[in-house]
A and B are shown apart, each in its own frame.
Chain A
Amino acid sequence: MTRISAALAAVLLASTAVPALAATPRDALVIAATIDDITSLDPAEIFEFSGGDVANNVYDTLLSIDPKALDKGYVPGIAESWSVSADGLTYTFKIRQNLKFHSGNPITADDVVFSLARAVKLNKTPAFILNQFGLTKDTVDQKVRKTGTHEVVMTIDKAFAPSMVLNCMTATLTSVVDMKVAMANQKDGDFGYEYLKTRSAASGQYRLVNWKASDGYTLERVDGNWQGDATLKRVIVRHVPETASQRLLLTKGDVDIARDLSPDDVDAVKKDPNLKVEDDLKGRITYFSANQKHPILSKPGVVEAMKYLVDYDGLRATILRGRAVVHQAFEPRTFLGAIDDAPYRLDVEKAKDLLTKAGYPNGFNIQMDVRSGYPTTEMAQSIQSTFARAGIKMEIIPGDGRQTLTKYRARTHDLYIGAWGPDYPDPHTNADTFARNPTNNADDAKGTGYLTWRNAWAIPQMTVQTDAAVMEKDNGKRAQMYGDIQREHQRTSPFVIIYQQLVQTGMRKNVQGFHSGGPVSSAYYWTVKK
């Protein structure tokens, strides 16, 4: 036994004598991040943040977003120009000449038509982005057509605001897929879906080398992209679930970028002369909402009182520690029509008044479903303590994310605290769910896609206003309409919107040009230099 121990000790010593790499390779970008949300890399299915980052560097979309001017909205992509018919129903896209996929196949109108039709027919989660224009399984073949080797015409069913339609054409699901490669790997009429879940058939600055779920992925540079080539040859993204481990990797120089640092980690990284932290506003909005089926929560004045019982500034400063901006409207900042009115602040006396008028001078008992984990739990605890100051005794019901969500979607919650991120860079994405309820508001209407329905909030009038805003052709007027809806929403809705997310990315000092994509896009690796 002793001999074995000695031999073992010798082997272990020998292995520790190998020096650890002090820095990442010069021509590679190494990132530590939490990426176990990736469940598929088919652009017709990608809908989570980490998958979007892959697609943003591997695929080219029909229209694009300029990483250096995110506020500008849509810019030319695979389509170099477009025109809209006078009735607002027909869009003609001119496809760039002489573009090639990674396979060497040329990009033509056929690939664009195939990609859009494929996204609709596969009917995965993001398909609704195209469904809303009347492009369905049955109609897409007639409505999206090739009219030349490099020209595609798309007909939609209602005269939506062109900005809305064109903004949607920057979404991941408009990624142009190499038709020949996809169809060569088709199985049971799946348009190559099983194949593309874990591979790429694309034309972006990088090619997907491999993806291992909950482990990591590797991208490799392909030269000749119309937007310019990437500087770094390889991008290696590793799944590192523990934030403290991410920070250690960054400090030691084993990664260039750490994307999920906790506030403590950020403080430490800021003090390190070799590292830096970059702040970037994202589109995610955190709120809590009150189920209007609840007899107390539906009383006028009760939710309003709750809006005065949140310590907005305190939450931002203590719990979120700089990772948020106070934001009380449903459109994220930088979106068309976003407003920064913040009419609510912690005011216990005002809340007490409102509760007394509503018939609850001594408060009441209520439950809140809370997804366990930072910062949701801490926020709920803060809200619990400020509620108590006006006599509202709130019980926190902790649960796993999917568990609380299942309850929320079944409308069996009292209060629910959660977050919502925009699905595409247009104001309609959030207005559609926060300020529109086209159902009859009954339990069996199954309007789970509408947060209004989930909270049983019937708003025929506001639904009409939101429907009008999405059809408005004049951008200035359109912005004004969303502003009005949000002000009304702030006053009357059962949603208490608290903040908009700010991400803090830790990186080595020599890393330049990394964009996390802001509220409208995903991360850009191909712009990074070091």
Chain B
Amino acid sequence: MTQTTVTAATGSSRFPSRYVWAVLKVVGTVLLTFLGLLLITFLIGRVVPVDPVLSAVGDRASHDTYEQARRELGLHLPLWEQFLNYVLQVLKGELGKSVLTANTVVDDIKRVFPATLELATTATFLGVAFGVPMGVVAAVNQGRWPDQVVRLLGLFGYSMPVFWLGLMGLLLFYGILDVAAAPGRVDFANLDVVETITGLIVVDAAIQGEWEVFFDALHHLVLPASVLGYFSLAYISRMTRSFMLEQLRQEYVTTARVKGLSETRVIWRHALGNVMVPLITVIALSYANLLEGSVLTETVFAWPGLGLYLTNSLLAADMNAVLGATLVVGTIFIGINLLSDLLYRLVDPRAK
């Protein structure tokens, strides 16, 4: 960093200097955002009327044991010192130990985040793959039955509690029809068969050529991902529909039609092309939301993901775990924002 700055300051042309400044500004903003995020989460953790030592030692510990645990957790120090220690630790790349799981928070996140990533990515994929075409079809057929069907499906997705939908899905597809797999990430027989490389069981199984585990993991993924995907589908199809309706009223669409372009080309190329920028924002936000983890879906499907981890930690005032998980969520939001900025440049001809 220092070296870059020196080069920038002594650089001969103005371009690298401006470039470096821009990067520094982004880095600075990101760092400040993180610091703010940590500070607020830290303070919330201290304001909550829960005694974090209780989570560590339980209700029965003697006063002596309780005090020993309080010192080990560093809770006897003044607040500012606790926070400073934490930030210094984070700068060293450590997130401390979780009281609830007995592991380092880094190890915990390495374990729970891939589970959520796998679920959220598949769900978003499903949501986009079905939601966008559905939104377009609805917009093109505004007021006719395809539109009504899409709107009804959207309304249903919006208003049904995910918990209920998950349980009903399990009952129907697993319990009665026997086409979906049981709750959990793989069958019991396939537990610990593949070595953890990325933590995404589907990917790890494919890398190691364990095709039985691969299909089993995929089989387990379908139902929870469909339930979550249905929610993102509901949102994405509604937004696509309204963006498309706006575009279809534009003069360039009429012009294209008058020019004799095929309807397919007008709709899927010209109109859809123009809604891509706002649509990317919608998809990115919905993806980021899913990456935070969905507590209820994870509960119903016994899916050990980030949402369940964060909630359990929060309820137990396991602050290292809460702060670590919050950092991850913060990174996701910042990362996805940056990514969607980059994507704008790719799809928006003006940005080129």
Stretch from A98-106, A207-215, A354-362 at the B interface: A207-215
Is A240 touching B68 in the complex (CB atoms < 8 A)?
no
**B302 in the interface, Cβ–Cβ < 8 Å?**
yes
Q: How far is the CA of A350 from the CA of B248 in the complex (A)?
A: 78
Instruction: Select from chain B the residue with minimum beta-carbon distance to A8.
Output: B129
Which A-chain residue is minimally distant from B214 (CB atoms)? A15
Residues of A within 8 A of B339 (CB): none
Which of A64-72, A398-406, A522-530 forms contacts with chain B?
A398-406
* A318-361 Cβ-contact flags toward B at 8 Å (1 or 0): 00000000000000000000000000000000000000000000
Contacts of A242 in B (CB 8 A): 167, 183, 299-300, 302
User: Does chain A have a CB within 8 A of B85?
Assistant: no
Stretch at the interface among A181-189, A245-253, A296-304: A245-253
Identify which of B58, B108, B133 contacts A5 (C-beta below 8 A).
Answer: B133
**A2 adjacent to chain B (CB < 8 Å):** yes
Q: Check A281 for interface membership: any CB of B closer than 8 A.
A: no
Interface of B is mostly: helix
Please tell me if B315 contacts chain A, counting CB pairs below 8 Å: yes
Inter-chain contact B171/A16, CB cutoff 8 Å: no
Nearest residue, chain A, Cβ from B315: A400
**In the complex, chain A residues whose CB is within 8 Å of the CB of B63:** 446, 448-449
Q: Are A213 and B58 in contact (CB under 8 A)?
A: no
CB distance from B306 to the nearest CB of A (A): 11
Cα(A232)–Cα(B308), bound, Å: 32
Closest Cβ–Cβ distance, residue B224 to chain A (whole Å) = 11
* Chain A residues positioned under 8 Å from B81 (CB to CB): none
- In the bound complex, how far is the Cα of B192 from the Cα of A210, in angstroms? 9
Chain A residues contacting B111 (CB-CB under 8 Å) are 212, 215
B341 close to A (CB within 8 Å): no
Question: Once bound together, how far apart are the Cα atoms of A126 and B58, in whole Å?
Answer: 10
Interface residue? A376 (CB, 8 A): no
Residue A47 interfacial (CB < 8 Å): yes
Report the separation of the CA atoms of residues A254 and B190 in the bound assembly, to the nearest whole angstrom.
13
A48-B302 in contact (CB<8A): no
The interface residues of chain B lying within 8 Å CB-to-CB of A209 are 192
* A-side contacts of B188, CB under 8 Å: 21, 24-25, 28, 30, 236, 238, 254
Describe A's contact surface by its main secondary structure.
mixed
**Residues of chain A within 8 A of B184, CB atoms compared:** 238, 240
Which residue of B is nearest A251, CB measured?
B175
Known contacts A127-B62, A127-B65, A238-B302: A39-B100 contact under CB 8 Å? yes
Chain A residues with Cβ below 8 Å from B171 are 248
Tell me which residues from 88 to 131 in chain B have a Cβ below 8 Å from any Cβ of chain A. 98-103, 108, 111, 125-126, 129-130
For B139, list chain A residues within 8 Å (CB). Answer: none
Which of the residues B98, B125, B178 comes within 8 Å of A20, measured between beta carbons?
Answer: B178
Q: Are A406 and B50 in contact (CB under 8 A)?
A: yes
Please, how many angstroms separate the alpha-carbon atoms of A212 and B196 in the complex? Answer: 13
Within 8 Å by CB of B68, from A11, A123, A241, lies A123
* Contact assessment for A241 and B65 in the assembled complex, using a CB-CB cutoff below 8 Å: no
Interface size of A by CB at 8 A reads 66
> Which residues in B have their C-beta under 8 angstroms from that of A4?
129
> Which parts of B60-97 form the interface with A (CB within 8 Å)?
60-66, 68
Q: Mark A100-135, 1 if CB is under 8 A from B, else 0.
A: 000000000000000000000001111110010000
Given A11-B218, A18-B215, A402-B315 in contact, is the A214-B183 Cβ separation under 8 Å?
Answer: no
Complex interface: chain B residues within 8 A of A400 (CB)? 50, 315
Q: How many Å lie between the Cα of A203 and that of B63 in the bound state?
A: 32
Residues on A with C-beta less than 8 A from B317 are: 402
Contact present for B60 and A245 (CB under 8 Å): no
B222 touches A16 (CB 8 A): yes
Contact A236 B218 (CB under 8 A): no
Contact indicator B300/A213 (Cβ below 8 Å): no
Q: Mark A192-231, 1 if CB is under 8 A from B, else 0.
A: 0000011000000000011011111010000000000000
- The verdict on B189 contacting chain A, using a C-beta distance below 8 Å, is yes
A294 beta carbon closer than 8 Å to chain B: no
CA distance A242 to B168 in the complex (A): 13
Q: How far does the alpha carbon of A210 sit from the alpha carbon of B195 in the complex, in Å?
A: 14
Residues of the A chain whose Cβ atoms lie less than 8 Å from the Cβ of B57: 124-125
- The smallest beta-carbon distance between A234 and chain B, in angstroms, is 9
**Inside 8 A of A131's CB, which chain B residues have their CB?**
62
Asked if B143 is at the interface (CB within 8 A of a chain A CB), the reply is no
Contact between A407 and B49, CB atoms less than 8 A apart:
yes
**Minimum CB–CB distance for A400 against chain B, Å:** 5
> Does A405 contact B129, Cβ atoms closer than 8 Å?
no
B316 at interface (Cβ–Cβ under 8 A)? yes
Across the interface, do A405 and B54 meet the contact criterion of CB distance under 8 Å? Answer: yes
| B41 contact set on A, CB distance < 8 A | none
Q: Which residues of B contact A36 (CB under 8 A)?
A: 100, 312
- The chain A residue with its CB closest to the CB of B63 is A446
The answer to the question of B270 belonging to the interface, with a C-beta cut-off of 8 Å to chain A, is no
Nearest CB in chain B: distance from A139 CB, A: 14
A409 to chain B: which residues have CB within 8 Å?
Answer: 51, 54, 59
B302 pairs with A406, CB closer than 8 A:
no
Give A4-40 interface residues, CB cut-off 8 Å to B: 4-5, 8, 11-12, 14-16, 18, 20-21, 24-25, 28, 30, 32, 36, 39-40
Q: Which residues of B contact A (CB under 8 A)?
A: 48-51, 54-66, 68, 98-103, 108, 111, 125-126, 129-130, 132-133, 167, 170-171, 174-175, 178-184, 187-189, 191-192, 215-216, 218-219, 221-222, 268, 299-302, 304, 308-309, 312, 315-317
Apart from A20-B187, A400-B315, 6 more pairs, CB < 8 Å: A4-B129, A15-B215, A214-B101, A242-B300, A400-B50, A449-B62
A-B residue pairs in contact (CB < 8 Å), sample of 27: A5-B129, A12-B218, A14-B215, A15-B218, A16-B179, A39-B99, A39-B101, A39-B102, A124-B61, A125-B60, A125-B62, A126-B60, A128-B65, A213-B103, A214-B100, A241-B302, A242-B299, A242-B300, A245-B167, A245-B170, A248-B182, A249-B183, A252-B174, A402-B51, A402-B315, A403-B48, A409-B54
**Closest 7 CB pairs between A and B?**
A213-B101, A15-B218, A125-B61, A215-B304, A197-B102, A240-B302, A406-B51
